[in-house]
Structure 1
Amino acid sequence: MTNPTSTRSNGSKMLRRYGPFGLVIVVVAVIALVTVVFSGGDDDEASDGAEVKSKEELIRSGPMTPEKAELLGKTTVDFGPNCDLETGRIKVPTVYAPPCVEPFTGKNGGTTSQGVTEDTIKIVAYQADPAKDPLLSSQINAAGADTSPESAIATGQGYVDYYNEYFETYGRDVEVEFFTGSGAFNDEEAAKADAIAIAEKKPFAVLNGPAQVSRVFADELAARGILCVGRCALAIPEAFTKERAPYLWAIGPSPEEASRLAAEMIGNYAPPGPAQFAGDPELRGKDRVYGAIHFETRDGAQKEAFGTFKNELKKNGVDVTVDVPYDGDEFLAKAQENARTAITKLKEGGATTVIFYGDPITPGPMTKEATAQEFFPEWILGPSVLADTSVFARSFDQDQWKNGFGISLIGGRGEQELQDSYRIYQWFHGTPPPNNTYGVIAPDYGILFRGIHLAGPKLTPETFRDGLFRFPPTGGEVMNPSISYGNHGIWPYTDLWGTDDAALVWWDPTAVGESEIGQSGNGLYRYANNGARYKLGEWPKTAEEAGLHDDAASVTIYTEIPPEAAAPDYPSPAG
Structure 2
Amino acid sequence: MTATSTGSGGTGPKRPADRLILRGYGPLAALIVVLLLLTMLVPSRPKDDELTQFTDNTGFSAPETTTGQPGAPVGTTPTGTAPLDTGAPAAPGVTPAKGGKPVTTNSAVGAAPATNCSGGAKQDGNTAYSPACVAWAGGDNGGATARGVTKDTITVTFRDIGNPLGDSDSELAKTAEEKGIIASPEATERTRAALLEYFNRTFQLYGRKVKIETYKGRGDAIKELGGTGQESANADALKVGQEIKAFADMTAISQPYLDALVRQKVVAFGGLHLPASYYSARAPYAWGQLVDCTALLDSAVDLLTKRLPPSGNANRAGSAALRQKPRKYGLVIPDDAVYAQCIKEAGPKLAAAGITITKEIRYSLEIAKLQQETPNMAAQLKGAGVTTVLLVTDPILPFFLSGSATQQDFWPEWFVTGTVLTDADVAGQFYDQDQWQNAYGQSYLSDIRQGKASESYRAYKAIRPQDEPTLTRDLDYYSLLMLFIGLQGAGPNLNPQTFQRGMFAYPGASGPLGHWSWGPNDYTAIDDAREIYYDRRALSAFNNQPGRYISVSGERRYRGSWPAKDPGAPVPTAAAP
Q: TM-score, normalised by structure 1?
A: 0.76
8 Å CA contact retained: 1:327, 1:338: no
Shift of 1:432: 6.1
2:234 to 179, 182, 192: 192
The corresponding residue for 1:244 is 282
> Are residues 1:278 and 2:317 paired?
yes
Counterpart for residue 122 of structure 2: 89
- Give secondary structure in 2 for the equivalent of 1:129: coil
Shift, 1:57, TM fit: 12
Q: Which residue of 1 aligns with 2:58?
A: none
1:225 aligned partner, one-letter code: K
Task: Report the Cα distance in structure 2 between the residues aligned to 1:106 and 1:531, rounded to whole angstroms.
Answer: 45
CA distance in structure 1 between the partners assigned to 2:504 and 2:422 by the alignment:
30
1:506-545 equivalences in 2 (<5 Å): 506-511=533-538, 513-516=539-542, 518=543, 520-537=544-561, 539-544=562-567
- Compared CA separation, residues 236 and 354, structure 1 to 2 (3 A): closer
CA gap of 1:29–1:436, structure 2 versus 1, over 3 A, is: farther
Q: Distance in 1 between matches of 2:332 and 2:534?
A: 19
Q: Unaligned 5+ residue runs, structure 1?
A: 1-20, 35-54, 487-492, 552-575
Equivalent position of 1:65 in the other structure: 96
Runs (5+) with no aligned partner, structure 2: 1-28, 43-85, 573-577
Alignment of 1:29-108 (within 5 A): 32=40, 59=90, 61=92, 63-66=94-97, 80-85=115-120, 88-108=121-141
Closer, same or farther: CA 23–254 of 1 in aligned 2, 3 Å: farther
Aligned counterpart for 1:154 among listed residues 190, 200, 205: 190
Q: How many angstroms apart in 2 are the aligned matches of 1:82 and 1:104?
A: 14
Letter of the structure 2 residue corresponding to residue 250 of structure 1: G
Deviation string for 1:93-142 (max 9, x for gaps)? Answer: 2211221001442221212111111111122222222269899x986764
Superimposed CA distance per residue, residues 165-184 of structure 1 (whole angstroms, 9 cap, x where no aligned partner)? 11111111111111121121
Identity of aligned residues (%): 29
Does the Cα contact within 8 Å between 2:91 and 2:488 map onto a contact in 1? no
2:505 equivalent to 1:505: no
Q: 1:25 to 1:177 in 2, by over 3 A?
A: same
Preserved contact between residue 92 and residue 492 of structure 2 (Cα < 8 Å): no
Structure 1 residue matching 2:135: 3-state secondary structure: coil
Deviation at 1:293, TM superposition (A): 2.2
Question: What code does the residue aligned with 2:251 have?
Answer: N
**Aligned counterpart, 1:117:** 150
| Greater Cα shift, 95-104 or 501-510 | 95-104
Of the three residues 211, 214, 219, the one matched with 1:178 is: 214
Instruction: Note if contact 1:124-1:177 (Cα within 8 Å) is conserved in structure 2.
Output: yes
Letter of the structure 2 residue corresponding to residue 199 of structure 1: G
**Match 1:222 to one of 245, 262, 273:** 262
1:269 Cα deviation after fit: 0.7
| Partner of residue 45, structure 1 | none
Deviation, 1:416, is 3.0
1:403 to 421, 434, 438: 438
Deviations 1:317-342 (A, max 9, x none): 3221111223321x2x3333222011
* Change beyond 3 A, Cα 1:82–1:57: closer
Partner of residue 34 from structure 2, selected from 21, 26, 45: 26
Aligned partner of 1:167 in structure 2 is 203
1:116/1:204 contact within 8 Å kept: yes
Per-residue deviation, 1:84? 3.2
Aligned AA for 2:324?
A: G
Partner of 2:400: 365
> SS in structure 1 opposite 2:416?
strand
Structure 1 residue 503 displacement after superposition: 0.5
1:268-417 counterparts in 2 under 5 A? 268-272=306-310, 273-296=312-335, 302-329=339-366, 331=367, 333-417=368-452
Deviations 1:265-287 (A, max 9, x none): 11111111211111212211111
CA spacing shift, 1:68–1:388, aligned 2, 3 Å: same
Q: Distance in 2 between matches of 1:494 and 1:28?
A: 24
**8 Å CA contact retained: 2:528, 2:558:** yes
Cα deviation 1:410-439 (Å, max 9, x = unaligned): 122314324433343234322566443222
**What residue identity is the alignment partner of 1:508?**
D
**Pairs within 5 Å for 1:385-534:** 385-430=420-465, 434-475=469-510, 479-486=512-519, 494-511=521-538, 513-516=539-542, 518=543, 520-534=544-558
CA contact (8 A) 1:80 1:102 kept: yes
CA contact (8 A) 2:30 2:165 kept: no
CA contact (8 A) 1:426 1:433 kept: yes
Cα distance in 1 for partners of 2:353, 2:452 equals 39
CA distance in 1, matches of 2:41, 2:439: 25
For residues 381 and 283 of structure 1, the distance between their equivalents in structure 2, rounded to whole angstroms, comes to: 19
Rounded Cα–Cα distance in structure 1 between residues aligned with 2:98 and 2:278? 33
Q: Does the CA-based 8 Å contact 1:28-1:440 persist in structure 2?
A: no
Equivalent residue number for residue 549 of structure 1: 570
Structure 2-normalised TM-score? 0.75
Give the match for residue 564 of structure 1: none
CA contact (8 A) 2:234 2:257 kept: yes
User: Among residues 198, 202, 205, which one is paired with 2:248 in the alignment?
Assistant: 205
